[in-house]
Amino acid sequence: MAAKARPTGVTADRNRRVLTIGWSDGTSCDFSFAGLRAVCPCVACRGGHENMGRPADKHLLRLAKDPELNLDQIEAVGSYAIQIAWSDGHSTGIYTWEYLYEACHDDSGTESGWE
């Protein structure tokens, strides 16, 4: 994670279906629920253990659409991640702060600017 940026706030807007994360470096990231669900980092969604640890597919994150999907619950996993329960019944993905930060920023650390 660039310069040890840590989350300073997490807000889920269920009407807009957007998860917003503020970071200690002053940036903020808006993730669509559908995008986050599409890039779920769990082993089942990744297609096996050999595919674990890879960065999020930024193209899929931006383009995923599912107007019915909503976030049912979000929980902290220690101090390193969040786990999201989705309205489609899926809840095994653990999204690390590093994974989310990198998904939202380009290689220079600049926000990619999508929702």
Average pLDDT over residues 43-60: 89
What's the pTM?
Answer: 0.87
- Residue ranges per domain, the chain? 2-104
Give the integer Cα–Cα distance in Å for 81 and 115.
Answer: 20
Closest of 43, 18, 44, 23 to residue 33, by C-alpha: 18
- Asked whether residue 46 carries a pLDDT value surpassing 90, the answer given is no
Angle, alpha carbons 50-53-56 (nearest 5°): 115
CA quadruple 54, 78, 6, 91: dihedral sign? positive
Pick the residue with more confidence: 26 or 109? 26
% residues pLDDT > 90 (the chain):
77
Give the integer Cα–Cα distance in Å for 26 and 104.
Answer: 13
Query: What dotted CATH number matches 2-104?
Result: 3.30.2020.30
How sure is the predictor about 45, in pLDDT bands with cuts at 50, 70 and 90?
confident
State the chain's mean pLDDT as an integer: 89
- Over residues 61-104, the pLDDT tens digits come to 999 999 999 999 999 999 999 999 999 999 999 999 999 999 99
Q: Which residue has the tokens 């930060």?
A: 101
